Structure 1
């Protein structure tokens, strides 16, 4: 459930939906896609998908860890799609330095989880392409 509207981007685990502002709300259009991939990164953590801990409230360590995973997922997806990386990813990850300082393995755990999330998203793309090919063959 991917909704476009409002003035902020978020993923709601309880209702399992993503909401992002419309494209014109972004100063650089590429940021719309980066934001979508970030929120899709959160979406992969739902219990019916990759089952990560999405229970953290803003400012908590669990929240910071999940934000790292989502942002690294977005960076991986952008890289795979040939979307130029920007400082935005590094700056955003830097905002969660407290977690990184307290756990010198946090970035590696987040990157591993983000890799699984990106693979999950690309698996959906491959499944959709396979279904489209089956439809053409029928």
Structure 2
């Protein structure tokens, strides 16, 4: 959607467009999506019932070609359906309050997490898209960590392209900021920060002070974000939680 500058995240197959009274515009190129699931064959269910064992599910993949609604014509006006809000309880109240109080434009939806530097907004898939919703907080705080670098906030250099040292350094800052924030808020993701941090340190392996400089910037980013928590956490508390944290 972002690469091709579509205005919405609504997709349908060629036949679905026709069934709705519309059609795909001539010359448009479709996008391949893959649906993954498991099913238990009838014979396997019978075998399990006879042997009193667990039935073995068979994984499968099904491929579809879909088109964005922007690529279609004559569709009903109400075809684009907004994603439902996350179910209550999946987002920690303190993180929800932080997001709202920060004033950083924050969108929930789509299929990937990112911070748009030019437009200055964060987008993260809904918590229910994660196998374990607690990991949503690590991702959200990572992208918010990037957003603190905007010129109107902490004004970090975010001009590095993917794979460069500048890019790697900014990723370190964002992930360390997420780790510090999670630790301060008592959030324990099951996906560990250390592996991600280590992957970007490889890019900076000849700079043995990169982690120290990144941690300093990350501490400022986390302090900035945590300042929006109701009854905000004192910045100094970061120093105490880091000592016990896996990335310290």
By the TM > 0.5 criterion, same fold? yes
Who is 1:116 aligned against?
220
Q: Deviations over 1:35-77 (max 9, x none)?
A: 0000000000001100101111111111100000000000000
* Larger helix percent: 1
Q: Pick which of 40-49 and 88-97 moved more.
A: 88-97
DSSP 3-state at the match of 1:14: coil
Structure 2 equivalent of residue 82 of structure 1:
186
Q: Which moved more, 1:105-114 or 1:54-63?
A: 54-63
Report deviation, 1:102: 1.4
Task: Give the distance between the partners of 1:60 and 1:117, measured in 2 at CA.
Answer: 21
Matches within 5 A, 1:1-138: 1-84=105-188, 86=190, 88-126=192-230
Taking only aligned residues, the RMSD between alpha carbons, in angstroms, comes to 1.6
Q: Which has the higher contact order (CA 8 A, sep 6+)?
A: 1
Unaligned 5+ segments in structure 2 are 1-104, 233-248
Moved over 6 A (4+): none
The structure number with the bigger radius of gyration is: 2
- Gaps of at least 5 residues in structure 1 are 129-138
For the 8 Å contact 1:79–1:85, the answer to whether it is kept is: no
Give the strand-richer structure, 1 or 2: 2
